[in-house]
Amino acid sequence: MDFTIPDTLRELRERTESFVRDQIVPLENDQRLHAHGPSDEFRRELVALGRRAGLLSPHVGTEWGGLGLDHRGKAVVFEAAGYSPLGPIALNCFAPDEANMHLLEQVATEAQKEAYLRPLAAGDIRSCFMMTEPAPGAGADPSMLLTTARRDTGGNRGDFVIDGEKWLITGAVGAAFAIVMAKNDSDDLGPAGATMFLTPMGAHGIHIERVLDTLDGFMAGGHAVVRLEGLRVPETAVLGQIGQGFRYAQARLAPARLTHCMRWLGAARRCHDIATDYARRRHAFGKPLGEHEGVGFMLADNEMDIHTCRLAIWHCAWVLDQGERGRHESSMAKVVCSEAIWRIVDRSMQVLGGLGVTDDTIVARIFREVRPFRIYDGPSEVHRWSIAQRVLRRGGRTT
């Protein structure tokens, strides 16, 4: 495995770091950043800055307006973007749009790409991904999916009618379209199972019930409860093939877990830098805080966790770049990074003492953002269970 960063990618990282530091960090206290994310006006301004900097949509193919980076390239640039929670918004590589773009590139028809991927990659619109449901529906276990898609038996026999309830749907408010996952019966076009559908959010039958109050506040549109009642979509709205939804979900989620790790590692590094600077300047008991072992050791542990995260991310990115599924590797990276990132931010807050629990620095806000990361895209316990099953199947042989 080659850990060398090419000169072109190194230059792109430096440009991204300068852009985030000079143009994005000063905007973090903009009044248009609300409890449920930035206003659409603010998001568009951030995207315009990213576009002018030549950094928009680094993960998307050049034919669709992006920079065409592979997974290792994304690892470098996404971390740099994540140094501010607003950075991924400005680069148009935030969730859930980034993963939706990846999925559309992989499985959408050319017509669907023109209609949905191109404006999404340009940052002109947002999207959402509707899979998660309230209990007893699908959560960490997608096989519990309750939302149904049935063929219309009336006058529009080519249409599907979708009914169900979705929740924790990130970005639903203000999204232009959704990717909806529903279970289907056997059909002439494919087997029974789960299918993904593309639909405009303004379609009749989509009802946003409420936006949930959550710890985090940087996700555009927040997280909503959505009721689907008699949502009618044409056959051309099927994304990929009928009955292949679970397979596509894994194709979307494995890279998405990894890109979350990349972005939040950048935010954790920001907290570590703030804590390190404070430990140099703040004095107690006759010397700088950092010279006390209790504080110095926390900073050292942060350095080791940052290094471990980068290794885990780079290894998984390398596997994905080889064309492998990377499901096992992404599960390991998700657990390693989400828990290490949490420790880094928590230690940084501890080093800052009373300052750390205020919003005078961004550490407390990032603290609230990264705690949910141990839950979404699969909680640590589910990934540990999956990893354990693989260990048991291979009979003790090491990878």
Banded pLDDT at 154 (limits 50, 70, 90): confident
Q: Where in the chain is the domain with CATH 1.10.540.10?
A: 7-121
Res 158: pLDDT: 84
DSSP codes, 58-127:
TTS-GGGTS----HHHHHHHHHHHTTSTTHHHHTT--TTHHHHHHHHHHH--HHHIIIIIHHHHTTS--E
Q: Any idea which fold 246-393 has?
A: Butyryl-CoA Dehydrogenase, subunit A; domain 3 (1.20.140)
For 274-315, write each residue's pLDDT tens digit: 999 999 999 999 999 999 999 999 999 999 999 999 999 999
Token pair belonging to 294: 């209790």
CB 42 within 8 A of CB 86: no
pLDDT tier, 389 (very low <50, low <70, confident <90, very high otherwise): very high
Which tokens in the block code for residue 237?
């709205």
- pLDDT (tens digit per residue) in 58-96: 999 999 999 999 999 999 999 999 999 999 999 999 999
Q: Quick one: average pLDDT of 259-268?
A: 98
Q: Identify the weakest region by mean pLDDT among 12-21, 169-178, 319-328, 338-347.
A: 319-328
Instruction: Give the burial class of 43: count Cβ atoms within 10 A of its Cβ; 0-12 exposed, 13-18 middle, 19 or more buried.
Output: buried
Q: Which residues of the chain does CATH 1.20.140.10 include?
A: 246-393
**CATH level 3 topology of 127-242:** Butyryl-CoA Dehydrogenase, subunit A; domain 2 (2.40.110)
Give the pLDDT confidence score for residue 156 in this predicted structure. Answer: 67
Rounded mean pLDDT, 40-54: 98
Q: Where in the chain is the domain with CATH 2.40.110.10?
A: 127-242
Confidence band, pLDDT 50/70/90 cuts, at residue 396? low
Please write the tens of the pLDDT for every residue from 358-381.
Answer: 999 999 999 999 999 999 999 999
Residue 324 has a pLDDT of 85
Q: Domain spanning 7-121 has what CATH number?
A: 1.10.540.10
Q: How sure is the predictor about 398, in pLDDT bands with cuts at 50, 70 and 90?
A: low
Give the Cα separation of 74 and 326 in Å (integer).
16
- What average pLDDT does the chain have? 95
Whether the predicted pLDDT of 155 surpasses 80: no
- pLDDT tens for 232-253 read 999 999 999 999 999 999 889 8
User: The pTM is what?
Assistant: 0.94
Residues 71 and 90: beta-carbon distance below 8 Å: no
Share of the chain above pLDDT 90, in %: 91
Helix (H) or strand (E) holding 164: strand 160-170
377-396: average pLDDT = 90
Tokens representing 37 are 């994310």
